Chains A and B, each alone.
Chain A
Amino acid sequence: MFEKPLGMRDTLPRLYETKAAARDKISTEIKKWGYQFIETPALEYYETVGEASAILDQQLFKLLDQQGHTLVLRPDMTAPIARAAASKILKEQVPLRLAYSANVYRAQQREGGRPAEFEQIGIECIGNGSISADAEMITLMADVLLAAGLKDFKISIGHIGFLQELFLSILGNEERASVLRKFLYEKNYVGYREHVKSLPLSSIDKQRLIAFISLRGGEDTISRALELLENSVGQETLTELKELAQQLKAYGVEEYVSFDLTLVSHMSYYTGTLFEVYAGEVGSPIGNGGRYDNLLAKFGWNAPATGFAIRMDRLVEAVGSVDENNETQCILFSSERRNDAISTARALRAQGKSVALQDINSVTNVDAYTASFAEVQFFVGNGDSKK
């Protein structure tokens, strides 16, 4: 056995076929919505794409090029696409609808069980700051998951703007708000509540902050959030969420969504609505996305943008079934009947069948070799037999 670096995995034929089938279904669906697929390089400059990415620095694979520049293996696709989109050619067709399916790299510090290289399939909608774009992201994500054969999933939608405005209005400045936001980001509700108790605030304001962490559930969450507001600050974001909920109903995907205003997937990356998607048996989100209106500006183009990415490894795990059907046929031949074998194989391939053409003299164990094929034909000696 030769070891692989931590977190690196092989994809063997059966899993490959399962993934490929899911990828096909998903990309077909994405194309139906008018998105165009692009590819970007696996290596990017650390100073530009590496810095702009939402992924933590310690998770980046870094290396040096011949001139000593620091490079990174792309940790996500959003930053590379933002870089490419900001180029002249693509800027002409705004709003831009781009899609990708690519491997991304995130170093693992600890144990196995989590891949350091995995495929993401996703879209970015650039230059469209409207709620319609947010609704399109969430709807298309639901459609894509359904197309891939996933039935049981739940999309949680949050809005970083609401949390930010609520915190700022109660706490007064960004420094204090970011301390509280960090507790949410770290999922530490005990620490959050203790910190709120220790703050020099009125008991009403403390109660508002404590009540905030239970703002999740159905559409009523939005009206419960409204009750936490004292004046118009923060109302606009809730109006946006209500509008989003309406549009999702128009698309007919409301059964898959719920609202969670405590959702903080990143300390500073997202600027508006954000969402994560969960499936029952998989312990981590299978995909996520949101609005990131500040990213493009880092590449010299001040444009709003939103998108989502689905993790293929987790999706395949969630769908559960590995494609067991091997449709491939096998023709085993001996040299005197080579011509028969070749023409039969050619005819079958012309019908769209997959055929492995194998010289029987090179097979040491015929039973083991032929076991996995759907059908086996022998072109051996003078007779013609079928197994």
Chain B
Amino acid sequence: MKITVDEDKCCGAGNCVLIAPEVFDQRDEDGIVVLLRSEPGAEERAAVLEAAAVCPAAAIEVHEEA
């Protein structure tokens, strides 16, 4: 899976970090999402999909290989 984030849409809620802290973080200065790993392994899949699903700004997109 490959993840992209839209920094302009991100509202800094940090829900993604609460759900998948191995994959997402926030910038110290403004809370905008930081992608720690853009192609995480299978063990992170469920958490990443949930993080994308609950993001209140719809700022996380997950692209899964067909």
A and B held together in a complex: no
Chain B residues within CB distance 8 Å of chain A: none
